[in-house]
Amino acid sequence: METRQEFFRQITLCVSRRLDVTRMVEDLFSYLRTQMPCDLLQMNYIDHDTGELRRLAWVEWRDGQRLSHSRHTLFSFPEEAMTLIRKGPPGGKRPPRVAHLQTGKEQRHRHTPPHPAFNEGFKRFGLEGYNVLIVDLHLETLHLGALFIAARPPADFTPEHVRMMEDVIEPLDIAFSNARRYEDLLRLKENLTDENKALSQDLSAASDAVLVGEFGGLRHSMELVRRVAPLSSPVLLLGETGTGKEVLAHVIHAMSPRHDKPFVRVQCGAIPETLLDSELFGHEKGAFTGATSQRCGRFERAHRGTIFLDEIAELTPEAQVKLLRVLQEKEFERVGGSETLHADVRVITATHRDLPERVRQGRFREDLFFRLNVFPLTLPPLRQRREDIPALLQHFLTRKCRELNLPAPPPPDMETMTRLQAYAWPGNVRELQNVVERALIISRGETLRFPDLGGIPAAPASPPSTVTDTEPIPSLDTAVAEHIRKAMRAAQGKIQGAGGAADLLGIQSNTLRARMRKLGIPYGRGATRWEE
């Protein structure tokens, strides 16, 4: 064994020559094995948001070789044990910075506080049956974490080993603090691209979250929103496509105590089925082809904030099971991982589907439906809130003129406004938004013109007459399929882009393709010539 001065010098070199935590722990492990029993070395840190202990990096000697691990893993090391290490027993002397524990046995050093919580903590951390040195790491009053040095019996630590580790407390504190900051920067850098991409996709939606009609056709809905927004209860938004469910989700988040935390939007119908679990819950490095690094999922990014799951009915059965667990226990695992992660997330979901009918068909889990249906809120279609059309028209005119860098046109005359209010608006608010943009492009600063309103004749202002018993009523899927075919014919088979069928229908191109596959409508190569 080297002298204590040489030991101090070598430990200082091990922990100061590298900022990467895993490499630092590897160097430290290799050197400690030459000076004392050491079969496993764990660097753990305190998550100050949750108060729980996380494993950051650990190295172990198994089957004659060194195995390294680097992963943020949440464990609940018993608070009683950590308190005893940091503060010592009530009325006792100041606790040592290095504690020697023998798991499952009586502790033989009088300064080590015996407590059953230690055995439970070591079991959770994979240290059950080891003899352990716990090195408490902190700077001034800030507790950083703990270094666990473990040896398999019959190997054990001596009082000399304890004194040696006490000598190197200061360089360990400083090095660990610096490495934690560097490691945090690396994690932020790795996630920065994904975060920016996700935020840029949500930015336009967030900036559009202006609720028009709060004191008009949405009065009743807003009364319900004001009641549920301050709570953390799940909200299920129902209504036809284009009624503004996403805008209302933004409003609920903005009125909640979580308003300064993330609002993460997930379009369940636009994510490929094979990537849905990864998008929601993240994945570990190497979990599948192309997973070159660890990635946080949407639930991790929404921690302490709100996640909005649009088109919830499109979730796969596997994703429904995981979502149910998140709602019940606030726990999940990344794809390819086995560690349990926790997330404090307020869940808002939305769909235009008939969820009870899907439950009866076995396409949606009944227990998940009851979890989501805590506070259902149905948005009225635009044809039932015609008094809001003038205000919506002015809002979209102002915004679209700014986006397209066009001069503000003269307001529409009374005849045009009456025609707009008489139209049935099957695409609801989204269709009105697209119609306004098309009118601005056609008018170019002149009086607004709205030719043909999507090619569908205007509906009468009065409610339509009742359908007679002799008129056949097509199924909903049949009607939707015919509507999509009409849009494809109008777009000459083009799906995405300006003037494409998705643009005409006011939905995303991925959503349109998914619906066409489901309804058996061909597209792409070999499809029917839509112009015929």
Q: Residue 204: name the closest of 462, 482, 485, 400 by CA.
A: 400
Residues 130-160 have pLDDT tens digits of 888 889 888 877 778 889 999 988 898 999 9
User: Could you tell me how far CA 2 lies from the centroid of its own chain?
Assistant: 51
Res. 472 pLDDT band, cuts 50 70 90: low
Helix (H) or strand (E) holding 265: strand 263-267
Q: pLDDT exceeding 90 applies to what percent of the chain?
A: 25
Query: What CATH number has the domain spanning 4-182?
Result: 3.30.450.40
Greater confidence (394 vs 70) lies with 394
The sign of the torsion formed by the CA atoms of 327, 239, 382, 243 equals: positive
The pLDDT of residue 497 is above 60? yes
Beta-bridge partners for 409: none
The number of CA neighbours under 13 Å toward the Cβ of 419 is 14
Q: Residue 147: name the closest of 62, 221, 255, 43 by CA.
A: 43
pLDDT of residue 493: 81
The answer to whether 448 and 409 have CB atoms below 8 angstroms apart is yes
pLDDT of residue 109: 42
Q: Count other Cβ atoms within 10 Å, centred on residue 513.
A: 18
Q: How many helices (H) and strands (E) does the chain have?
A: 19, 13
Angle between helices 169-207 and 4-16 (to 10 degrees): 10
Cα→Cα distances 455→118, 274, 504, 528, 531, Å: 73, 37, 10, 22, 16
Assign 3 to helix, strand or coil: coil
Which pairing describes strands 235-238 and 346-351: parallel, antiparallel, or unpaired? parallel
Sheet with 263-267, strands from edge to edge, namely 263-267, 306-310, 346-351, 235-238, 375-378
Query: What CATH number has the domain spanning 208-378?
Result: 3.40.50.300
- 102 phi and psi angles, rounded to 5 deg: -115, 110
The answer to whether 519 and 483 have CB atoms below 8 angstroms apart is no
Q: For the whole prediction, is pTM greater than 0.75? A: no
In the block, which residue shows the tokens 């088109």?
311
Q: Count other Cβ atoms within 10 Å, centred on residue 91.
A: 5
Residues 207-255 have pLDDT tens digits of 445 678 777 888 899 999 999 999 999 999 999 999 999 999 999 999 9
The answer to whether 460 and 422 have CB atoms below 8 angstroms apart is yes
Angle between helices 169-207 and 21-32 (to 10 degrees): 160
Say how far apart CA 425 and CA 382 lie, in whole Å.
7
Angle between helices 245-254 and 219-228 (to 10 degrees): 40
58-67, 308-317, 351-360, 468-477: the lowest-pLDDT one:
468-477
Structure tokens at 521: 């409508």
The answer to whether 315 and 323 have CB atoms below 8 angstroms apart is yes
Please, what CATH class does the domain formed by 384-455 belong to?
mainly alpha
Q: Count other Cβ atoms within 10 Å, centred on residue 149.
A: 25
Greater confidence (520 vs 190) lies with 520
pLDDT of residue 273: 74
The number of CA neighbours under 13 Å toward the Cβ of 195 is 12
Say how far apart CA 26 and CA 297 lie, in whole Å.
29
pLDDT of residue 378: 93
User: Which of 119-123, 125-129, 313-317, 406-410 has the largest mean confidence?
Assistant: 313-317
Q: pLDDT exceeding 70 applies to what percent of the chain?
A: 79
Extended beta strands in 8-88, E state = 40-47, 52-62, 65-74
Judging by beta carbons within 10 Å of its beta carbon (0-12, 13-18, 19+), is residue 274 exposed, middle or buried? exposed
Q: Count other Cβ atoms within 10 Å, centred on residue 292.
A: 8
First to last CA, the chain: 89
pLDDT of residue 204: 44
Q: Is 397 left (phi over 0), alpha (psi -120 to 50) or beta?
A: alpha
